[in-house]
Structure 1
Amino acid sequence: MVDYRPESQGTTTNAGIPAPSDEQSLSVGRDGPVVLHDAYLIEKMAQFNRERVPERVVHAKGSGAYGTFRVTNDVSQYTCADLFQPGRETPMLARFSTVAGEMGSPDTWRDPRGFALKFYTQQGNYDMVGNNTPVFFMKDPQKFQDFIRSQKRDPRTGLRDNTMQWDYWSLSPESAHQVTWLMGDRGIPRTWRNMDGFSSHTYQWINAKGQRFWVKYHFRTDQGNDFLTQEESDRIAGEDADHHRRDLFEAIERGDHPSWTLSMQIMPIDEAADYRFNPFDLTKVWPKGDYPLIEVGRMTLNENPGNHFIHIEQAAFEPSNLVPGIGPSPDKMLLGRLFSYPDTHRYRIGVNYTELPPNRPHVRVRSYAKDGHMRQFPPDTAAVYHPNSFGGPDAGRQEGVEQATWQVEAAELVREAYTQHRDDDDFVQPRALIRDVMDDAARDRLVRNVVGHVSAVTDDGVRSRAVKYWTDIDSEIGSRVSQGLNGG
């Protein structure tokens, strides 16, 4: 499109018309009422009243940057996905966030951190929606909404409430592994640059021969893991509520580009059935002794967005964006999110959110989608329906595209818990995290963090369950938490 308007430093309306004034509204006489036909004034007021879109219900506070992902190791034997082929370099967008905090909350509250990535591949957008922890609080999407409400503000007081949190956690023992991560050192990363990222979910990779593998993603920070103590985080929350956002922006501005090395855990598909943990349970990890990390490539963030609202607030990450060679698993939480994420984007930023700059694929879009609120691009098809006789796109005509799926062996759909594997227990892995990974100093900080958090619980029954919760994880830690809460 040609811009025929001559260069000018003057303000215009949103339609490009020269604005009459930036300072005075149109009125009847010098002291008379403002008139309704001052279209520029009405436009400014109406636009201002609509500047905000609904904030995300979860992961509201965050920021991010653009960068690249470069493959450093040949993993083509495991997946035919374009972005993981040898030598490939793929542009990408990353967004980091807190989970429970609203838009204006401090960056340094104790909370899991979101680790959302969008890769603009040659086969369309691939999104990974993860966290800085390898597990989560529950294993079934039926519980997600209730969990989030327990971590948000009490509707009666409008305040965050430790009683609500511990009431939910102590009544949901499957949360033990994630809560142990949360109350430990990594509950408050020093910066986003100093934290790891995980897919948490199990996904499926499929190679060019049609062989399938279950996989987990590990993005390990190249800056080194570091954390804030509770005392440091409390101080920083009062001094700079945007501490993590500011740190990432300023690091990239000065050329200190953060990077993460991606490594995978890969399980042959036929080993899942009798593995000692359910490999699709989001509250469990696969011990690295069973499935060692295999390096894939490096993600580097090197470009701050030109406009935070356009590129970060309107960024829409969705685990349903799965390119050929990558698919879902029977992980119930993942399957729930395949619907939930795109649904919330349609509500929050509109049905045509994929046309917004951060979400627009870098490849040609041949979709039969049309119309709807704020549609910008016409369908790139010869017709607006399928099948048609006018040369429109046809998924059946594509060659060499292997969609990763898994076989549903049961002949019925059921509502039931995961099947038990021999070491399945809600407390085995958090107990191992405490005993085998943490040192004495880390265990001391864990106890202090738990005692400090539970001390704000006002309900005696919930406090008792919180103590039992930690006793079930580790009897010594439970005893120390009980002593701490009782002034010992």
Structure 2
Amino acid sequence: MPNAAILRRSMLAAAVSLVLSGTAQAATITTDAGAPVGDNDNSQTAGPNGPTLLEDSHLIEKLQRFDRERIPERVVHARGTGAFGYFTPSADISSLTKAQVFTPGAKTPVFVRFSTVMGYRGSPEQARDPRGFATKFYTKQGNWDLVGINWPIFFIRDAIKFPDFVHANKPSAVTGVQDPNLQFDFFAHTPEATNMLTHLYTTEGMPDSYRHMDGWGVHAFKMVNAKGEVHYVKFHWKSQQGIHGIRPQDIPASIGKDWNLNTDDLYANINKGNFPKWDLYIQVLTPKQLGRFKFNALDDTKVWTDVPERKIGTMTLNKVPHNYFETTEESAFAPSRMVPGIEPSEDRMLQGRLFAYADAQMYRVGANYQSLPINRPIVPVSNGQQDGAMNSGDRQGEANFDPSTIGDNHANPSVRQVETPLSGTTQQRAIDKKYPFLQAGEYYRSLSEMDKNDLITALSGDLSKVKNDADKYQMLAYFYKADSQYGTRLSSATHSDTSRVKAIASKLDDNYSDSDHP
């Protein structure tokens, strides 16, 4: 007879294999306990016209389960689409990291969940919204979640502002409808969002397919090699299909034709064997090189300029899930899920996400969410955790603690996290070297004339709905500060007083301080 550890590993492997293969088995209908059901059409009653009997356990169980079919919707990224695939490395980067997922010849299963951010589960996919691009790597060292979006930057740089950002951009607490007045009331006090807003309102802000967009990890991460040497990296998924978006004038017709456009396109292509692929690139800096920029290199509202990218692998998506709920809906991603050789940087937004995402998944799905097939690692788990709702971990033995002389669980010093030098005092202050308008202007000037026109059309459409003049003119001044042509064109398109915009912009410092806001 196999011992418990071998049996457990085989059960884990079988469960993951079933999810990844999408295999469905035809069988007799059973109860949740596995007993066969004799009649799935008629309830048990007391005679032909009598009341239904409480003893009809199949009826009761069926209704109970139906009442409990929904888990709490994600606060953000509720509208999602998942697909299975695999990642293969193409470069030896052992000099940078000991993460085995990048070992030459490896082939790592992945599950990717694409999503919109602010919409509810049934909302149109054609939304002026970032797109989530979350990848779960089922590696031989445990699961690694690379949780990003379709741009290399974000709206805010400190996680303490994340609830405020979401509240301002989700539907109004009064009307239940998204409102540009609330959005731009927040952004008027958040100059660092100028860069991301400029990206958001371009045609790339409305992808015509999940296949036709890139993905980024957004933040800097640390790679650590076997010698303990540290490099800072940024991850970039580059679509082999190219980047295509929907122009502003075509959006209403697109929604009217198919508001599940992104999902339908992705699944149709996978089912036809037209498997989408993304190449994974990294940018690399030494700790000393972080200071080379005019801005703070760990500010997630900025890109690393003039740092070359290096291709390190390719991801292929080749399987549509067989069950939406058990995969796309129950899948749980958290940037704190890392493997030896990959560690977080000191990026303030990332530091907050390390806690918030895992905590949200634990609330949404349950304390044992990582034991569900879609989230379960392909390697044995031995963490000493126990009990809780829906625990199927099959923990063995009495030694669920460490240190112990009767158990054999122990830490592995070779994968201890690196030590990061610190200096200074504790503080609660904004970062230095903010420069919130610098890259927004650079990005605007890099656009083609058609893309500039589409940006002005889309952004002015929402800015024109802002009733509070102070908010509207503050936003226009931010865009003018980024680029005078940009701000002037938006002022004209929103029928605003350009001289007033210039006057406000003239009082804004390039490095923006709290005193710059009236």
TM-score above 0.5 = yes
Query: 1:457: Cα distance to partner?
Result: 2.5
After superposition, the Cα gap between the structure-2 partners of 1:273 and 1:482, relative to the gap in structure 1 and judged at 3 Å, is closer
After superposition, the Cα gap between the structure-2 partners of 1:35 and 1:184, relative to the gap in structure 1 and judged at 3 Å, is same
The number of residue pairs the alignment matches comes to 475
Query: 1:126: Cα distance to partner?
Result: 0.8
CA distance in 2, matches of 1:28, 1:458: 65
| RMSD over equivalenced CA pairs, Å | 1.9
Task: Check conservation: 1:138, 1:174, Cα contact below 8 A.
Answer: yes
1:16 pairs, out of 28, 31, 34, with 34
1:485 pairs, out of 467, 485, 494, with 494
Task: Check conservation: 2:437, 2:478, Cα contact below 8 A.
Answer: no
Task: Check conservation: 1:173, 1:426, Cα contact below 8 A.
Answer: yes
Residues 202-250 of structure 1, C-alpha deviations (whole Å, 9 max, x = no match): 0001112221111100111000111111232322222222111111111
1:336 is matched with which residue?
352
Output the amino acid matched with 1:481: L
1:49 pairs, out of 57, 60, 67, with 67
The answer to whether the aligner puts 1:306 opposite 2:315 as a matched pair is no
CA distance in 2, matches of 1:381, 1:83: 32
Output the amino acid matched with 1:313: E
Q: How does 1:445-456 map to 2 (within 5 A)?
A: 445-456=454-465
2:508 is matched with which residue?
none
After superposition, the Cα gap between the structure-2 partners of 1:210 and 1:179, relative to the gap in structure 1 and judged at 3 Å, is same
Residue range with higher mean Cα deviation, 348-357 or 227-236: 227-236
The answer to whether the aligner puts 1:154 opposite 2:172 as a matched pair is yes
Residues 316-359 of structure 1, C-alpha deviations (whole Å, 9 max, x = no match): 11111111111111101101011011101110000000100111
The answer to whether the aligner puts 1:319 opposite 2:335 as a matched pair is yes
Task: Check conservation: 2:203, 2:248, Cα contact below 8 A.
Answer: no
2:469 pairs, out of 456, 460, 468, with 460
The answer to whether the aligner puts 1:387 opposite 2:403 as a matched pair is yes
Q: How does 1:144-293 map to 2 (within 5 A)?
A: 144-287=162-305, 289=306, 291-293=307-309
CA distance in 1, matches of 2:396, 2:390: 17
The alignment's TM-score, normalised by the length of structure 1, stands at: 0.93
Task: Check conservation: 1:434, 1:443, Cα contact below 8 A.
Answer: yes
CA distance in 2, matches of 1:350, 1:339: 15
The alignment's TM-score, normalised by the length of structure 2, stands at: 0.88
CA distance in 1, matches of 2:288, 2:314: 29
Note the residue ranges of structure 2 that are not aligned, 5 or more in a row.
Answer: 1-6, 12-24, 498-518
1:473 pairs, out of 482, 488, 502, with 482
Q: How does 1:110-121 map to 2 (within 5 A)?
A: 110-121=128-139
Q: 3-state SS of the aligned residue for 1:470?
A: helix
CA distance in 2, matches of 1:138, 1:117: 22
Q: 3-state SS of the aligned residue for 2:74?
A: coil
After superposition, the Cα gap between the structure-2 partners of 1:320 and 1:380, relative to the gap in structure 1 and judged at 3 Å, is farther
Residues 103-149 of structure 1, C-alpha deviations (whole Å, 9 max, x = no match): 11111111000110111111111111101010000000110000001
1:444 pairs, out of 446, 453, 461, with 453
After superposition, the Cα gap between the structure-2 partners of 1:442 and 1:16, relative to the gap in structure 1 and judged at 3 Å, is same
Residue range with higher mean Cα deviation, 265-274 or 254-263: 265-274
Note the residue ranges of structure 1 that are not aligned, 5 or more in a row.
Answer: none
CA distance in 1, matches of 2:84, 2:313: 17
After superposition, the Cα gap between the structure-2 partners of 1:8 and 1:63, relative to the gap in structure 1 and judged at 3 Å, is closer
Query: 1:55: Cα distance to partner?
Result: 0.9
The percentage of aligned residue pairs carrying the same residue is 39
CA distance in 2, matches of 1:295, 1:440: 30
Task: Check conservation: 2:208, 2:261, Cα contact below 8 A.
Answer: no
Task: Check conservation: 2:437, 2:479, Cα contact below 8 A.
Answer: no
